[in-house]
Amino acid sequence: MTLNCRGQLLDLSRPRVMGILNLTPDSFYDGGWLETPDQALRQAEEMLEAGATLLDVGGASSRPGASTVETQEEIRRTAPVIARLRRYFPDAILSVDTWRAEVAQAALDAGVSMLNDISAGRLDSTLYPWLQNLPQKNLPYILMHMQGQPQNMQLDPHYQDIVTEVLDFFIDEIKKLHTLGINDILLDPGFGFGKTIAHNYALLKNLSVFETVTAKPVLVGISRKSMICKVLNVNPENALNGTTAAHMLALQQGARILRVHDVKAAIETIKIWEQWSLAT
């Protein structure tokens, strides 16, 4: 379980934490928090000091019903911050959260070493060709499942068998990516992206299936999401305890990366899980 992140090896033999850096005014939890590059830099420093291995930088919200951000605005939000992060934190693994090839290229030029795409190439027909034309195939790709699009994905999500359908999707997309020369792939079941609460918990309960069948590591993004808030009847601001509980379940099902808002809590969860794993 080692990924080549543009020459930097990421060892996933133990779980890692990816800190979320949202450079957007309308994200569901932390929108508008990081209004300047200096604020983003300080947030990144805090996350790395707390134990994050990766930072995921996003310039366009993908929450349900989110409005579309123009390409150049997304680049304006992300590329300068990524360049500063690369300069100040050269050992951090930086990811860009985008579905656009043009934004991905700008982020690559600025210094990212991973691509996090919610759409599996479906929202920008040029993204997969862009991946194919990369001169070096050492940009790990986070492959996420989503039913519908952010504008409509939560209107009426339905499946015959959520786990089987998401697994089949992963198998098909992994084959496509392999033909493009992309072999370092992380799987994200897409919690909250076209799923009901029942769908989300079915995926969480059967998470280990995805790595077992595909031999690809699984990334989990459930931090403060509605699948936690609705069960506990809390808002995202009060969902850290529920998030920690869900993270423990994900670790027990083999999650390799936790994508989180709260790095310290996630690191502590991993430490407790590791101690539990060693017990006889």
Catalytic residue ranges = 225, 259
Contacts of 113 (CB under 8 A, 6+ apart): 5, 6, 8, 93, 94, 95, 139, 140
5 closest CA partner among 62, 86, 69: 86
86 closest CA partner among 95, 77, 98: 95
Whether 144 and 121 have beta carbons less than 8 Å apart is answered as: no
Separation between Cα atoms, residue 215 and residue 175, nearest integer Å: 13
Exposure of 253 in the CB half-sphere (CA atoms within 13 A): 21
Q: Are strands 141-144 and 257-260 parallel, antiparallel or unpaired?
A: unpaired
